[in-house]
C-alpha cells in the first residue's frame, strides 16, 4: 500500500507498469480496487495509477469538515496536489462518475496536466425522482447506489468503508451542478470519450447530447453494460480503453460489433 501526503491529507494510491501515466479515479461507490483488472491490462504500455479520493478507501476521511472537504473543487485540488507530490506533470485520465467529474474539472482548472479523458458514467443524466428536495434526492440515490455496489465483490466491501458524507456530498453536487457539467464538456479542448452502460439504472445514456459534442469528443454506449461496465464486461472495456489511449487520432476510435456509437 502506497501513501502520499497532500497538504495535511493522507492519500492512498497504487501503481503498476511503465510508460506514459494514466490516472484512474473511482466513483461514488468503492475505491481504487475495481480498476485493478484494467490497470493490469494497460500496464504493459502505461504507468497506471489509481487513487482513493478523499473520504474513500484508505485515504483520509475528514468528517468534521465534510461539507467543504468533499466538494468537487477540493477533490480536484487533492488530485492536482497528488500529481505535484508524485512528480507527474501530465497524464491521461480514466474516471467513473465522481472520478469523471474530477477529471473534467481538473482539465478546466489546470489544462496542461490533462491529456485524454475516458469518462465512464459522467453524471449529466443522473436521474433522481422528480420533486424530491436535494437532501432527500441524494439520500435516495446513495441507497440505490449501495444496492448496485452489492452486486460486485470488487466494490461492495470498500463501498461500506467510505464516509457516507463523501458519497452524499458528491451526489448532491452532481444533482445541483448538472447544467455546469454539461457546459464543461463544451469548454474542454482535450480528447474525450463518454462511455455509458445501456442498462445503467442510475445514469442512463444521455442521448440528448447527440449533435452537441465537440469534434474531439465521442459518446459510446455498451449496450449490455450497467453501472460498472469495467467489471461487467472487462475485456470489452479494456480493449476500448487501450484503443482510446493509443490511437493517433482518438476521435476516430473504431466501432466494434458489441458497441453502439453515436456521432455528434
Quote the CA–CA distance of 48 and 56 in Å, as a whole number.
Answer: 19
SS3 246: helix
Nearest in space to 200 (alpha carbons), one of 27, 22, 24: 27
Quote the CA–CA distance of 238 and 190 in Å, as a whole number.
Answer: 21
Quote the CA–CA distance of 64 and 61 in Å, as a whole number.
Answer: 9
- What confidence tens digit (pLDDT) does each residue in 49-95 have? 999 999 999 999 997 887 788 999 999 999 999 999 999 999 999 99
On whether the pTM is more than 0.85, the answer is yes
Q: How do strand 259-262 and strand 217-222 relate by DSSP bridges?
A: antiparallel
**Alpha helix segments (H runs only) across the chain:** 36-42, 66-69, 72-86, 98-109, 134-149, 156-159, 164-176, 178-187, 229-232, 234-246
Nearest in space to 171 (alpha carbons), one of 203, 209, 214: 203
- What confidence tens digit (pLDDT) does each residue in 172-197 have? 999 999 999 999 998 998 999 999 99
- Mean pLDDT for 151-170 is 92
Amino acid at each position: 500500500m502506497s501513501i502520499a501526503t497532500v497538504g495535511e491529507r493522507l492519500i492512498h494510491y497504487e501503481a503498476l507498469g511503465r510508460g506514459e501515466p494514466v490516472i484512474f479515479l473511482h466513483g461514488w461507490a468503492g475505491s481504487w480496487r475495481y480498476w485493478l483488472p484494467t490497470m493490469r491490462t494497460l500496464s504493459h504500455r502505461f504507468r497506471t495509477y489509481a487513487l482513493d479520493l478523499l473520504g474513500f478507501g484508505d485515504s483520509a476521511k475528514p468528517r468534521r469538515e465534510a461539507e467543504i472537504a468533499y466538494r468537487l473543487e477540493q477533490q480536484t485540488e487533492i488530485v492536482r496536489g497528488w500529481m505535484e507530490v508524485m512528480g507527474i506533470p501530465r497524464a491521461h485520465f480514466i474516471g467513473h462518475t465522481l472520478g469523471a467529474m474530477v477529471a473534467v474539472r481538473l482539465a478546466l482548472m489546470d489544462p496542461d496536466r490533462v491529456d485524454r479523458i475516458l469518462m465512464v458514467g459522467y453524471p449529466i443524466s443522473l436521474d433522481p425522482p422528480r420533486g424530491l428536495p436535494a437532501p432527500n434526492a441524494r439520500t435516495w440515490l446513495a441507497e440505490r447506489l449501495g444496492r448496485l455496489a452489492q452486486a460486485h465483490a470488487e466494490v461492495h466491501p470498500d463501498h461500506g468503508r467510505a464516509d457516507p458524507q463523501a458519497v452524499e456530498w458528491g451526489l448532491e453536487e452532481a444533482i445541483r451542478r448538472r447544467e455546469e457539467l454539461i457546459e464543461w464538456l463544451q469548454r474542454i479542448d482535450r480528447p474525450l470519450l463518454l462511455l455509458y452502460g445501456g442498462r445503467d439504472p442510475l445514469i442512463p445514456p444521455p442521448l440528448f447530447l447527440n449533435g452537441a459534442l465537440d469534434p474531439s469528443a465521442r459518446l459510446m454506449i455498451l449496450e449490455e453494460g450497467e453501472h460498472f461496465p469495467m467489471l461487467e464486461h472487462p475485456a470489452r472495456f479494456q480493449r476500448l480503453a487501450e484503443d482510446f489511449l493509443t490511437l493517433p487520432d482518438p476521435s476516430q476510435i473504431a466501432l466494434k460489433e458489441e458497441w453502439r456509437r453515436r456521432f455528434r
